[in-house]
Structure 1
C-alpha cells in the first residue's frame, strides 16, 4: 500500500488528481478501506465500465471535481481471424505481456471469436497498437475505439457437481479444476493460486460458499453452493467454471 500512500501525499502536496495503475478487486478493496479514513482527500475507482473487475484509483482534493477525460483509460480493439486457433484470455494476456507491457497497465480483457477488446492505460495505447502484431500464430491489427463502444460479452458458467472430503483449498481446487490433490497442493505452494483475488499459499485454507478461486494459466471457478453432506460424509458442491 506504500504506492497508494505516496499518491495521497502527492495529492495533498500538489493539490492535484493522482491516478494509480490498474488493481485487482482485492487490492482495490484493501486500498479503499485505508483511503476512507484519510481526511482532506476523496477517491473513486473506475475500470472503464460499470462492473469492471480491474480498476484504477483516483485520489483528489475533496474540493475538486473529476472530469471523465481524466480517467486515462483507453479501449483498444484487435481484430484477427481465429478460425483455426483457440483465442482465449490466457493467450491474449500472454501476447500483451510479451509485447513488453506490464499487467498493471492493463484493465479487463474481453475475447470474442474474431475480436479482442483491451482496456488499457492511455499512456500505453500507442505502444500496444504499434507493437502488438499477433496473438499466437494469428496476425492482428489494433485500433483505438471510443470507450463507449465496448461490447460486453455475457459471461457464462459451466456447472460442475462434485464432492470433497473437506472445504480445504487443495480439495476444492482438485474438484473444480479436475486435478489430483497433490497437484492442487503443488500449485498453491508455488503461489499460483488466489482466493477472492488474494494470493493464498495455505493448502488448508477453508473455502466458503461464494468464494472465487483462480489458478494462474488455468482460469477460475466459483463455489456456487454447498449442497450438504452425502451418505459417505463427503461435502457436495455446486461449482461454476468461468468459460
Structure 2
C-alpha cells in the first residue's frame, strides 16, 4: 500500500524524513531527538511510527501538559526515556507592561531575526509582564547572549527549569455547522461568520494558514483536525465530520479557540 496516498503532497518531504529517522534507529540502535514539531507533524510521526509490538518507542514532549510544539524522541523500545532527554529549556524575562505592550508575534520576530530557525523554538508565553521562551538546549547560550531587546523593551533572559512554565489550558468551543463543501473558503465563511467574498479575499491576501502553512488556494480541501489560523480572527479546526444531509450538505463539528 502506498503510504503517501493518505497525506497531502506538501507533507511528503516530512514523511520521508520520519521514515529515514525510523530506519536509522532500527539500523543503529541509537535514539534520535527531533527539533520542535507542530501539531500536524506530531500527528504524522505518531501515525508512521507504530510502537505497538514494535522494536521502537516514540515519545513527545514540549515542556508542559498543554504545550503545542513538541520534540520527539525515537528510540529502541528497551531504552528508557526521561524528561531531560528532550533538551528543552525555558528562557525567561520580564518587561514593564505599563510602558510597553508585547505580543507573541513580537517575541517570535525577535527570535527569528537572530537567524535562527523556527523549528528550534517551542511555545512562547507572554503574560502579565512575563516572557517565557521554550528553546532547544543547543541554542540556549546563543539566545541568552543575543536576544536582548524585543520591540523597544530591553530584556534580560535567564534559564529556568521546565517546571517553571506558566501554563494555560486551551479552551476549544465546539459548534455544529452545515457546509456545502469542505473548500477552505466555504469553511472559514461558516466558522467566522463572514461573507464568501471576504473569505476569498482573506485567502488571496494570505491571511489564512492551515497547519501553520499559508494557503492561498480558496478551493483547498480542509480535512478533520486541520488547524486553521485566520490573522486577526483566531484559530479554529474541523473537529468531526458527521455525514451528509439529504440535500448533500456536510454536517461538521467545528471548534474555535477562545
TM-score normalised over the length of structure 1 = 0.76
| CA 7–191 in structure 1, closer or farther in 2 if over 3 Å, else same | farther
Unaligned runs of 5+ in 1: 226-236
| CA 218–19 in structure 1, closer or farther in 2 if over 3 Å, else same | farther
Q: Per-residue deviation at 1:205?
A: 4.5
1:111 counterpart = 2:110: no
Decide which moves more: 92-101 or 171-180: 171-180
CA contact (8 A) 2:188 2:199 kept: yes
1:85 counterpart = 2:105: no
Q: Per-residue deviation at 1:200?
A: 4.2
Which residue is equivalent to 2:25?
A: 11
* Aligned mates of 2:219, 2:104 — CA distance in 1: 29
* Aligned mates of 2:191, 2:98 — CA distance in 1: 29
1:125 to 140, 143, 157: 140
Pairs within 5 Å for 1:7-86: 7-36=21-50, 39-86=54-101
Which residue is equivalent to 2:249?
A: none
SS in structure 2 at match of 1:81: coil
Unaligned runs of 5+ in 2: 1-14, 241-251
* Aligned mates of 2:98, 2:142 — CA distance in 1: 27
SS in structure 1 at match of 2:200: helix
| CA 213–46 in structure 1, closer or farther in 2 if over 3 Å, else same | same
Deviations 1:35-81 (A, max 9, x none): 11794321111111123211111000122111222111111112112
* Aligned mates of 2:155, 2:221 — CA distance in 1: 43
CA contact (8 A) 2:185 2:203 kept: yes
State the superposition RMSD in angstroms.
3.9
1:135 to 126, 150, 159: 150
SS in structure 1 at match of 2:157: strand
Which residue is equivalent to 2:12?
A: none
* Aligned mates of 1:121, 1:215 — CA distance in 2: 28
SS in structure 1 at match of 2:59: strand
1:146 to 157, 161, 165: 161
TM-score normalised over the length of structure 2 = 0.72
* Aligned mates of 2:73, 2:116 — CA distance in 1: 21
SS in structure 2 at match of 1:213: strand
Q: Per-residue deviation at 1:3?
A: 2.3
CA contact (8 A) 2:19 2:48 kept: no
| CA 172–2 in structure 1, closer or farther in 2 if over 3 Å, else same | closer
Pairs within 5 Å for 1:185-224: 185-189=200-204, 193-195=208-210, 197=212, 200-205=215-220, 212-215=227-230, 219-221=234-236
Decide which moves more: 84-93 or 109-118: 84-93
Decide which moves more: 204-213 or 73-82: 204-213
CA contact (8 A) 1:26 1:198 kept: no
